[in-house]
Amino acid sequence: MYRALLLILLVMILGLQYRLWFGEANLRQVWSLKDQIEQQQIENESLTERNQRLEAEVRDLKKGMAALEERARSEMGMVQEGETFFQLIEPEQESDQR
């Protein structure tokens, strides 16, 4: 009787261990999903920061002409009426000077 009960318990434990390691939603899958969740959270944080920067830029562009003017000057090289644009070009240095 004692041996039969022990054998039944052993079979049940082995069955549960099999399900834990090889069955549906096993530990390897759980660990893999946890890693994927971590990676997705990192990406989400990065994208949230980017969205906040873009929202701030949109607000600045909607509110002030100063931001628009600065952007036009830096990205498009625009100048105002009466201004003169100077571009300084440094001479190339020869790499094999003696």
Domains of the chain by residue range:
27-74
Asked whether the beta carbons of 78 and 68 are under 8 A apart, the reply is no
The span from the CA of 9 to the CA of 17, in Å, is 12
Please state the pTM of the whole predicted model. 0.46
Q: What is the dihedral of CA 45, 51, 56, 62, to 10 degrees?
A: -170
Judge whether residue 95 has pLDDT over 70. Answer: no
pLDDT digits (tens, 9 = 90+) for 29-60: 888 999 999 999 999 999 999 999 999 988 87
